[in-house]
């Protein structure tokens, strides 16, 4: 679906090389739960999500955020076949996890915002545009096997 140019791929891979998945993972999932509190509906088993500081400091949130971003890292190695890469995860999110694909779009935009926080000036409008393509492609791939 998304056609990644050589420039897109370069922007995505070079920025990703500088990302600390440990930090970014917790930050990304945490902010999703803080900014869009209704997304907490999927995480009843995570313990305290009662305040922004509880959420951002919650070790289960951090661990799960790392899991999610690690998966994204795999996708970055396969930008030309996101649907293939995420086929099984798509089925999982539909059949077992019952996640509305709208949540993938929300998470993608939170990730873009976190990258802006972490990289500042380096996260230029051009780099952002490549990353928006990336997160849109991932969201689409994750929703591709819904039925």
Partner 1 sequence: MSLTKTERTIIVSMWAKISTQADTIGTETLERLFLSYPQTKTYFPHFDLHPGSAQLRAHGSKVVAAVGDAVKSIDSIGAALSKLSELHAYVLRVDPVNFKLLSHCLLVTLAARFPSDFTAEAHAAWDKFLSVVSSVLTEKYR
The footprint of partner 1 (CB under 8 A) covers: 27, 30-31, 34-35, 52, 55-56, 109, 112-114, 116-121, 123, 125-126, 128-129, 132
Q: How far is the CB of 124 from partner 1 (least distance, A)?
A: 9
Cβ proximity to partner 1, 9 vs 145, nearer residue: 9
Cβ proximity to partner 1, 134 vs 142, nearer residue: 134
124: left (phi over 0), alpha (psi -120 to 50) or beta: beta
Cβ proximity to partner 1, 6 vs 98, nearer residue: 6
Kindly report the three-state secondary structure assignment for every residue of 56-99: HHCHHHHHHHHHHHHHHHHHHCCHHHHHHHHHHHHHHHHHHCCC
- Tell me how long the chain is: 147
Q: How far is the CB of 12 from partner 1 (least distance, A)?
A: 14
Cβ proximity to partner 1, 7 vs 74, nearer residue: 7
Q: How far is the CB of 66 from partner 1 (least distance, A)?
A: 17
Q: Contact, 26 vs 65, CB < 8 A?
A: yes
Q: How far is the CB of 129 from partner 1 (least distance, A)?
A: 4
80: left (phi over 0), alpha (psi -120 to 50) or beta: alpha
């Amino acid at each position: 679906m998304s056609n990644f140019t050589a420039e897109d791929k370069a922007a995505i891979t070079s920025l990703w090389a500088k990302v600390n998945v440990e930090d970014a993972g917790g930050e990304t999932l945490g902010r999703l739960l803080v900014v869009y509190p209704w997304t907490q509906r999927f995480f009843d088993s995570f313990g305290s999500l009662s305040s922004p500081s509880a959420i951002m400091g919650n070790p289960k949130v951090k661990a799960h955020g790392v899991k999610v971003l690690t998966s994204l890292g795999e996708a970055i190695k396969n930008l030309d076949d996101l649907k293939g890469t995420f086929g099984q995860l798509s089925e999982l999110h539909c059949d077992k996890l019952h996640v509305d694909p709208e949540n993938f779009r929300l998470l993608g935009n939170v990730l873009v915002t976190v990258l802006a926080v972490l990289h500042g000036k380096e996260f230029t409008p051009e780099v952002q545009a490549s990353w928006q393509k990336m997160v849109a492609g991932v969201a689409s791939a994750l929703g591709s096997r819904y039925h």
